[in-house]
Amino acid sequence: MAESTLAERMRPYRVLLASRARAQMQYRASFVTDILGTIGVGLAEFAEVWVIFHNVDVLGGLDFTGALLVFALSNVAFALADMLVGHLDQMPRYIRAGQVDAFYVRPLPLLTQLMTSDLSLRRVGRLSVALVALAVALTTADIAWSPATALLVVLTIISGTAIFAALFTAAGGLQFFLVDGAEFTNAFTYGGSYAAQQSQQVFPDPLRIFWTFVIPTAFVAYLPAVAILDLDDPLAPTWLAWCTPLAALLAWGLAALSWRLGTRHYQGAGG
Amino acid sequence: MTPFWILTRAGFRRHSTYRLALLAGMTTNSVFGVIRALLLLAALASAGSDIGGYDAPTAVAFVWWGQALLGTVNLWGFQEVKDRVRTGDIAIDFLRPVNPQLAYLAGDLGRAGINLVGRGAPAILLGGLLFDMAWPPGAASWVSGAVSVVLAVVVAFSGNFTVNLLAFWLVEIRGIYLMWMITGGLLCGLYLPVPWFPNWLRTIAEWSPFPSMLQIPIDILAGRVVGAEIIATMATQVFWATALLVLGQVVLRAGRRRLEVQGG
């Protein structure tokens, strides 16, 4: 067993994910409706940015293209994280239904089982809105393209997804304590995503520090966007944009801690 | 005591059981309140003047009243009746000596009450503490604002209830419900004030029932709408409340004729 290759160890997860994906596509009409729904959610989020720029030309140091880039980067990352691990939001339901115990008796780690227990394909709707916004922002903005810029875009999307996934996981860990107060964690998962969409210049300094070093959502979109567009913000130097993977590591450190505490605290559903 | 009042009290007590959930909801509302207030303040600073009749304190009031009333006015969460129609449990509601629509309305008013006390009031106090916020300009605004909130709860409930009833004809109304939620969320004035919209979108919003669910009470409480204008905006709410309640009754009657419950 110790000799098993990575591919072999990944096999159960592949099978699980494939079955989840197939299950969702069984009811075609319902699946299409859900996708249209998440497209609608994405468009409604975009409408907020668009309506503000209908009234002003510059917001928090960003023009419309800049704001669109921040919106797009954060939404791509959030939609990806939501698709992969967003169902950790359902932890209280799993805990109440005793489903967590069912996961525990299987010979795979709890967290990876939970992560692969669902794959919310319907969220491709929101992802596609975000990707279109990203394509428009990257082509219309005045960007001095270089290999480094392209690398930064890719790095940002990967790290941003990791940061939001870490927030969902941290929230999942806290659910073991909260159960009825599940909505507490929305404050930093959905609240963090909302903060990530904004130009950080709208926040007073203490809040900027909070969204950079405590819950690092500034790294998801704003800090990289400033570097990509070569804007002037003394609190967002270019080198900080390249620290995005470090922020993801920090977020995952917190997530791991929260998850550990949560699972240690869990006593079973009494079955 | 009338059954309506008893059901209202039951709704209040049912939702007051989950105190931690109320506190959690208030926390999330407040985080969004802080971010959105700062966003609107930045927009006003960038414009250098009022936008659509909102100055800084009114804009802050718009945001925080919106967050405070979000739990009170049930914009999204009402899906109970749809499930009861699908499972056939609605037949039991028909057997009761109270009209189902009024029974659910009573429960929803109770739910709104506890959410206003437990979730809305603390949120609005926090908003007033953190920001320079416009309070209702006088007793008339407080009183009419309170009535307007009740009307908003009724409009949102009766709209949701009618959409739920479509389950009599369609097996799965998730798609329609999603459409209702997304359009409503955008047009009710939760994200941004309706007067900030471009003209065409504003016209659509003003011809829809959605501003009656949030924008109108907020505007009265924030002091953007005062004097005789209050009466005009509340008349809109009364119109939509009546129209949607009547529509709900008509749909309910048609659905009742269609209902077929197996077994028993």
pLDDT in tens, B23-78: 988 999 999 999 999 999 999 999 988 998 999 999 999 999 999 999 899 887 77
Which residues make Cβ contacts (< 8 Å) with residue A27, sequence separation at least 6?
none
Exposure of A240 in the CB half-sphere (CA atoms within 13 A): 19
Q: How distant is the Cα of B247 from the closest Cα of chain A, in angstroms?
A: 26
* pLDDT given for residue B17 in this prediction: 86
Q: Does B209 touch chain A (CB under 8 A)?
A: no
Closest residue in A to B25 (Cα) is: A183
B97 and chain A in contact, CB less than 8 A: no
Contacting residues of A for B32, CB less than 8 Å apart = 191, 194
User: How many angstroms separate the CA atoms of A108 and B160, rounded?
Assistant: 43
**C-alpha distance from B80 to closest chain A C-alpha (Å):** 18
Q: For chains A and B, count residue pairs whose Cβ atoms are closer than 8 Å.
A: 109
Helix (H, G, I), strand (E, B) or coil at A62: strand
Residue A3 burial by Cβ neighbours in a 10 Å radius (0-12, 13-18, 19+) = exposed
Interchain pair B192, A56: CB under 8 A: no
Contact between A19 and A119 (Cβ < 8 Å): no
Q: Provide the 8-state DSSP code for B17.
A: T
CB atoms < 10 A from the CB of A112, how many?
A: 14
Strand, coil or helix: what is A215? coil
In this prediction, residue A167 carries a pLDDT of: 94
| Domain range enclosing A228 | 6-265
Contact A184 B24 (CB under 8 A): yes
B174 touches chain A (CB under 8 A): yes
Place of tokens 């899906």: B79
- Determine the pLDDT at residue A3: 60
- Does residue A271 lie in a domain region? no
Residue B107 lies in a domain: yes
- Helix extents (H) in B132-207: 139-165, 174-187, 199-206
Q: Give me the residues of A, 219-238, that contact B with CB < 8 A.
A: none
- Residue A154 falls in which region: left (phi positive, over 0), alpha (psi -120 to 50) or beta: alpha
Identify the H or E element spanning A79: helix A64-85
Give the angle A92-A97-A101 at the CA atoms, nearest 5°: 95
Q: Is A178 on the interface with B (CB under 8 A)?
A: yes
Beta bridge partners of A62: A59
**Within 13 Å and on the Cβ side, how many CA atoms surround A148?**
10
How many domains, chain A? 1
Residue A214 distance to chain B (closest CA, Å): 15
Reduced to 3 states (helix: H, G, I; strand: E, B; else coil), residue B96 is coil
Task: Check CB contact of B76 with chain A, cutoff 8 Å.
Answer: no
Asked if B192 and A198 come within 8 Å (Cβ–Cβ), the reply is no
Tokens 């591919």, residue located: A7
Given pLDDT bands bounded at 50, 70 and 90, which one contains residue B254? very high
Confirm whether A77 is domain-assigned: yes
Which residue, among B141, B180, B135, B156, has the nearest Cα to B71 in the 3D structure? B156
Instruction: Tell me which residue range forms the domain holding B98.
Output: 3-258
Supply the pLDDT for residue B217. 96
At A32 the three-state DSSP class reads helix
Instruction: Output the pTM of the full model.
Output: 0.90
**Three-state SS for A59?**
strand
Q: Which residues of B touch A54 (CB under 8 A)?
A: 196-198
Best residue in B39, B131, B210 to probe A by mutation, most A CBs within 10 Å?
Answer: B39
- Contact check, Cβ <8 Å, B186/A183: no
Task: Tell me the pLDDT of chain A (271 aa) as tens digits.
Answer: 456 788 888 888 888 888 888 887 787 877 888 888 889 989 998 999 999 999 999 999 999 999 999 999 999 999 999 988 888 888 888 888 888 888 888 888 888 888 877 777 888 888 999 999 999 999 998 888 999 999 999 999 999 999 999 999 999 999 888 877 778 888 889 999 999 999 999 999 999 999 999 899 999 999 999 999 989 888 888 899 999 999 999 999 999 999 999 988 888 766 5
Total number of domains constituting chain B: 1
Which residue would you say has higher pLDDT here, A25 or B203?
B203
Give the torsion through C-alpha atoms of B44, B45, B48, B53, to 10 deg.
20
Is residue A107 in some structural domain? yes
B112 within some domain: yes
At residue A58, the pLDDT reads 92
User: Hey, are the CB atoms on A40 and B179 less than 8 Å from each other?
Assistant: yes
The token duo for B135 is 């309070």
Pull the structure tokens for residue A40: 């609608």
Q: Kindly state whether residue A52 falls inside one of the protein's structural domains.
A: yes
Closest CA to A62 of B207, B120, B46: B46
- A270 assigned to some structural domain: no
CA distance A180 to chain B (A): 6
pLDDT digits (tens, 9 = 90+) for A40-86: 989 998 999 999 999 999 999 999 999 999 999 999 999 999 988 88
Question: 3-state class of B54 per DSSP?
Answer: strand
